[in-house]
Amino acid sequence: MEIGKAQTVVLDSNVFIKEIQEGRVLRPIAKKMKRQSSKLVMPETVLGEVAKITGSDPVTTMTHVYQYCKQPIMIDRTDEIITESAKLSQKYYECHTPDNFILATAKLTGSTLVSFDRDLLQTAKMEGVQAFLPRNYIRWG
């Protein structure tokens, strides 16, 4: 990561799902990000997965995000992300398609990945992406 460049963090869809279902997940992560002057990167895949699993619309998800993060960086599926995701799906069988898009986004943006999915975290580490369970991210650094 370049010196002087703000660190970026990608939160997996399961972090937002847990926040919507149970609450109390995003606040400590957001506090940590604020202390480190980190920026949230939101892949479009995350919004789709959250909507599919919780039945909530993207506006509701973004309402949760805006409570804690005023200026998230929204990332669409670019050709580069699609290509990287395809490489990941051929290389690793542990992750399903949305995970590959989320990991590809974290990898290509140089972001830290935060997820409850241990298979995804392990795959991220094998790809050289810094990755943490939420509780470990909060304690890290």
- Cβ neighbours of 90 (radius 10 Å): 9
Mean pLDDT taken over the chain? 90
Q: In percent, how much of the chain has pLDDT > 90?
A: 70
Please report, for the chain, the start and end positions of each structural domain, with discontinuous segments joined by +. Answer: 8-139
Tokens of 121: 């975290």
User: What is the pTM assigned to this prediction?
Assistant: 0.91
Average pLDDT over residues 51-75: 89
pLDDT at 3: 35
pLDDT band at 24 (very low <50, low <70, confident <90, very high): confident
Q: In this predicted structure, what is the pLDDT of residue 63?
A: 87
Q: Is the domain covering 8-139 a CATH 3.40.50.1010 domain? A: yes
Q: What is the pLDDT of residue 58?
A: 87
* CA distance to 26, 30, 42, 62, per residue, from 66 (Å): 11, 10, 12, 6
